């Protein structure tokens, strides 16, 4: 049996910005959980449930601020099938093919971009946190501390299992805290590039 010498590579990028002003807060690379991602790809190829990206998960457990204002960060959780965010506080469904889970496919959707003749394709996941979400957020983006439930400093893409109401963490990115409040809309554009080397 011959095995193609065709290595597969993946890397990701996250852009977080104000949806109205387009001011960019986060513009950085992410980390891939290769175990969960390889399993999800195999499930997708085999047309089995649970292999596709369904959710964008947000958390606030990846950074801490010292008394003098210095920020320290934990590392990304990208090892093992049971990897999770450090402290997940909110989840948004982004699969625009699932109307029961994603009631707003205009602002929350997944696209595949490919240029003919190239050996890479991009999965682009777009998510909007509108003014009224999440429920329970502060009225304005001013707070005396950085420990609020919706001061996000980590996010990841996940699959979804309706039996457990959760999914596998495929990616994880950690960043400078960004506060979600009623007076701002936040747009996240999360790109995963899949490359097949010739």
- Whether residue 143 contacts residue 179, with contact meaning beta carbons closer than 8 Å, is answered with yes
- Whether residue 36 contacts residue 83, with contact meaning beta carbons closer than 8 Å, is answered with yes
23 domain residue, yes or no = no
Range of the domain at 110: 31-196
Q: Is the peptide bond before 19 cis (omega within 30 degrees of 0)?
A: no
pLDDT in tens, 49-81: 888 999 999 999 999 887 787 889 999 999 999
The rounded radius of gyration (Å) of the Cα atoms in the chain is 17
17 domain residue, yes or no = no
41 domain residue, yes or no = yes
pLDDT bracket for residue 2 (50, 70, 90):
very low
5 domain residue, yes or no = no
Rounded Cα distance, 97 and 156, in Å? 19
152 domain residue, yes or no = yes
24-38, 109-123, 127-141, 169-183: least confidently modelled range: 127-141
116 domain residue, yes or no = yes
Nearest to 160, CA basis, from 14, 80, 40, 47: 40
Residue 198 reports pLDDT greater than 80: no
Residue 92 vs residues 9, 53, 159, 179: alpha-carbon distances, Å: 27, 11, 12, 16
Q: Name the domain count of the chain.
A: 1
pLDDT in tens, 110-131: 999 999 999 999 999 999 999 9
pTM for the model: 0.90
């Amino acid at each position: 049996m011959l095995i193609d010498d065709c290595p597969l590579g993946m890397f990701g990028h996250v852009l977080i910005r104000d949806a109205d002003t387009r001011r960019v807060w986060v513009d950085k690379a992410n980390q891939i959980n290769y175990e969960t991602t390889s399993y999800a790809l195999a499930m997708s190829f085999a047309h089995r449930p649970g292999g596709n990206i369904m959710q964008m998960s947000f958390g606030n457990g990846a950074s801490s601020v010292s008394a003098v204002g210095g920020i320290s960060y934990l590392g990304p959780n990208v090892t093992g099938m049971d990897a999770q965010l450090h402290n997940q506080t909110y989840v948004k469904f982004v699969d625009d093919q699932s109307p029961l889970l994603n009631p707003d496919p205009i602002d929350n959707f997944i696209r595949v971009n490919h240029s003919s003749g190239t050996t890479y394709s991009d999965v682009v996941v777009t998510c909007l946190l509108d003014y009224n979400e999440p429920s329970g957020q502060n009225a304005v983006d001013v707070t005396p501390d950085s420990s609020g439930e919706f001061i996000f400093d980590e996010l990841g893409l996940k699959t979804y299992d309706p039996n457990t109401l959760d999914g596998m963490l495929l990616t994880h990115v950690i960043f400078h805290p960004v506060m979600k409040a009623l007076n701002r809309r936040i747009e996240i554009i999360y790109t995963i590039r899949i490359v097949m080397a010739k």
